[in-house]
Structure 1
């Protein structure tokens, strides 16, 4: 029932254990370049403040010993990467993925297939040039809960991804009738044009803050006549530029497709990423609209998925739609929650996205006295409960709508600060998995907040009791 990604990489284990495989033999060369990058960064850091000392050292010993030492360091790094490759094994059976790693300290990790949250195929630029890919297997757990197989041949990584998704869904294969894992068809639904992505970044809050900062620095230079003040802009410019570049490169060519094995997301300029989020794995969704996006009615959609919250690229991995019109954003939401549980979902969502006050009777809003704690946004704060999810509206300059399916409510809490107690207000918090979405309803009437807490706990309990199986395509026993 398991595949052999690379010829000659399989090794039979004891009876009852899976067949063990190695990753691609080119992996040490691909990973070894990171050592050179780290070494060069250290050299640049050290050479900068002590350039004269380095010149004296070169003059004293010559270039040959220095280059020889550098070469030995590089060889040692590549040698260690080669030993780590020899010690790395992975295996797959019908229940879990297993990974053995470590040179000095051995590590054996097990990731249960019924806990799979997402499977990603990632191709850094060097791996893409060599036709390799990294397979990342995210499971529900704490920090560092993912299993990474780096690197495999691209076609092998795609084939193994299909097998893992089929096993996670409960599909049986490896028989005479079904020898291989079926490749699920997909239908592309959304794409983000490059010009829209660029224009959305130009209209972002980062550009506004950068513009105001540069303008203020220019005025200060003119008034004080001190050109040295221009150097104070460097950290801000580099930080803003790095953030904008990361957004552009990470969300380049963003595409969303629907498939029986889940939501498929593809994006990336230098590092190509193909994500598959199986059904029911999204814990919460947030739609946001910056103030400068309102004229275009653009929205950004982000999600909480267990395992993505601790990722180093959470800013990119947790994006369901980088930027799109309202219809695109609602389509992305409906991929996660096809049935909102109301007769007129579009009317309720439109009111939740751009409305103010309690024009819809289904919305519970903050009382007028909340203006003392939140004078700008209290009219926008509202919450609505449907048969399938809880909707939380907030934000005046940056509009936000958070949607949490009832069965994905992890736990609930009620907080009340001293000023809230004096005003008879309270905040309801919905605890979710780590990620960009933090659902909470601020400054509700204290009695209404208490009632909402108990009602939502009951809705979550009933929803979890009727939730589908973890292996979503396995027949449910009567």
Structure 2
């Protein structure tokens, strides 16, 4: 049996009024973009030609082909592919342009099939600046806007100079926050709701402190008419993940243990049978696991967290650097997870659901903290949910991270009769409700605590299998946007689950009705 109750959405805002497309100022991306994108085609061609030469070439493989009479054919084929790839990239560059309106970002692209995409700034979920390895040699970046339109709803503008990408990100975040950006580059506050003019001195709030409190803003001097005003909001560094801890966390991961066990088994079988073919047959699996671990290290290298009026700012990456900005209120759900191999160090990993990032459970965009101590994990949680709505938030969170049914707490836990369904973790399964969020915990070998703000509840569900019906229990789910966080409290008493579903639907409607506008600077100005 499965029931499903959607949370009632709030009133939709008015559609933005944009000028005609011909009235917008259309701009092209950097002219070196074709060279950066063309390298992907050349690299793929080198891999394919090398593989084909090794498999179907003359005896001796690629080296013999290059030293033979027809060596020039391989180089000519590679040059032809490079010319086609770069030529196509040049045409794509000429057909790509973007424009920034008051309420919307526009992107035109396509050679044979023309596309025009629009991203509403009031639906902006995050702004990312990505810098691949080849683009770093030219000082170029790609700017991506993720909107609340599901998977593949973002708009990618690339490539741009690093300074231009930073300025464009600041402008887009200022517009999304409710500031009016002048053509000369200045920013003035949006008009008041009653139609009165905004004051001349724009007051940008100072960056919030790591504990979530906001210092009082101080007005700056009035800018001269026509003078550019910086749009880059100040930021306060919160923490940096040490490289040694990141390496140790990867070594202590389940993927590394699996890789080592698999490699040991292959070596034992190889020496026992004397067949070296076992090594070549196992090579793809080893390369796959090794590639995953290498991606974890390079993708989360030098992970930095900061806070600003624009939201949470993340920066990480070794070969490809990525700067993310998640505006206030855009996080749909948060997960704190700890594997059994991290328990001795009390390390935790923090992941989030953000609309538009997609559903990859290990998506590097959805990591708020790759590995950190308990205090660091709770600090990062406070950046996206400063007020938990309870008098002693640390006690409630500690009970969610470590507690079970034997520990006195506010959590409603699964009944004892569910131990036949989950003999290891049945004491951990439970939930509690605070004034601002719903907290759900589960897992013993891998401890999980999911936190869902009431206003971000998308829909609710109950599921009950045959054994659950016989035992009078049911599993409760909160349906969030796509991402690594899937909030669930398994095997609750059926009466507790039904009551939680009804009350949480009411709380979600009330919280969404009381929530401020999507433009967070307008909310602060009320």
What's the CA shift for 1:70? 2.8
Alignment partner of 2:446 out of 382, 398, 409: 398
Written as runs of structure 1 = structure 2, the 5 A alignment for 1:51-450 is: 51-52=57-58, 62-174=70-182, 176=225, 179-180=228-229, 182-309=231-358, 315-357=363-405, 359-450=407-498
In structure 2, how many angstroms separate the alpha carbons of the residues matched to 1:240 and 1:66?
Answer: 33
Give 3-state SS (helix, strand or coil) of 2:107's partner: strand
Specify the alignment match of 1:48 in structure 2.
Answer: 54
In structure 1, how many angstroms separate the alpha carbons of the residues matched to 2:245 and 2:417?
Answer: 41
Say what the alpha-carbon RMSD is for the aligned residues.
2.3
Deviations 1:241-298 (A, max 9, x none): 1111100000000000000000000000011111000000000000111111111111
Structure-1-length-normalised TM-score: 0.92
Conserved 8 A contact 1:32-1:78 = yes
In structure 2, how many angstroms separate the alpha carbons of the residues matched to 1:433 and 1:181?
Answer: 34
Q: Which has the higher contact order (CA 8 A, sep 6+)?
A: 2
Specify the alignment match of 2:41 in structure 1.
Answer: 35
In structure 2, how many angstroms separate the alpha carbons of the residues matched to 1:444 and 1:474?
Answer: 41
Alignment partner of 1:452 out of 500, 508, 513: 500
Conserved 8 A contact 2:396-2:409 = no
What's the CA shift for 1:206? 1.1
Q: Comparing 203-212 with 28-37, which one deviates more in the overlay?
A: 203-212
In structure 1, how many angstroms separate the alpha carbons of the residues matched to 2:84 and 2:272?
Answer: 56
In structure 2, how many angstroms separate the alpha carbons of the residues matched to 1:82 and 1:16?
Answer: 24
Conserved 8 A contact 1:21-1:90 = yes
In structure 2, how many angstroms separate the alpha carbons of the residues matched to 1:17 and 1:293?
Answer: 57
Q: Comparing 250-259 with 416-425, which one deviates more in the overlay?
A: 416-425
Q: Are the structure 2 counterparts of residues 97 and 69 from structure 1 closer, same or farther at C-alpha, using a change threshold of 3 Å?
A: same
Alignment partner of 2:514 out of 456, 463, 466: 466
Conserved 8 A contact 1:136-1:147 = yes
In structure 1, how many angstroms separate the alpha carbons of the residues matched to 2:397 and 2:359?
Answer: 30
In structure 2, how many angstroms separate the alpha carbons of the residues matched to 1:457 and 1:128?
Answer: 48
Q: Are the structure 2 counterparts of residues 376 and 39 from structure 1 closer, same or farther at C-alpha, using a change threshold of 3 Å?
A: same
Matched, 1:17 2:23: yes
Conserved 8 A contact 1:173-1:181 = no
What's the CA shift for 1:154? 0.4
What's the CA shift for 1:472? 0.7
Q: Are the structure 2 counterparts of residues 162 and 58 from structure 1 closer, same or farther at C-alpha, using a change threshold of 3 Å?
A: closer
In structure 2, how many angstroms separate the alpha carbons of the residues matched to 1:397 and 1:66?
Answer: 54
Conserved 8 A contact 2:399-2:409 = no
In structure 1, list runs of 5 or more residues that go unmatched: 1-12
Give 3-state SS (helix, strand or coil) of 1:249's partner: helix
Deviations 1:394-424 (A, max 9, x none): 1111111110001011001111111111111
Total equivalences in the alignment? 465
What's the CA shift for 1:236? 2.9
In structure 1, how many angstroms separate the alpha carbons of the residues matched to 2:302 and 2:248?
Answer: 14
What's the CA shift for 1:103? 0.2
Q: Are the structure 2 counterparts of residues 196 and 475 from structure 1 closer, same or farther at C-alpha, using a change threshold of 3 Å?
A: closer
Q: Are the structure 2 counterparts of residues 60 and 266 from structure 1 closer, same or farther at C-alpha, using a change threshold of 3 Å?
A: closer
What's the CA shift for 1:301? 0.4
In structure 1, how many angstroms separate the alpha carbons of the residues matched to 2:387 and 2:65?
Answer: 71
In structure 2, how many angstroms separate the alpha carbons of the residues matched to 1:286 and 1:396?
Answer: 15
In structure 1, how many angstroms separate the alpha carbons of the residues matched to 2:58 and 2:266?
Answer: 33
In structure 1, how many angstroms separate the alpha carbons of the residues matched to 2:525 and 2:233?
Answer: 24
Specify the alignment match of 2:193 in structure 1.
Answer: none
What's the CA shift for 1:470? 0.6
What's the CA shift for 1:73? 2.3
Give 3-state SS (helix, strand or coil) of 1:145's partner: coil
Give 3-state SS (helix, strand or coil) of 2:134's partner: helix
What's the CA shift for 1:451? 0.7
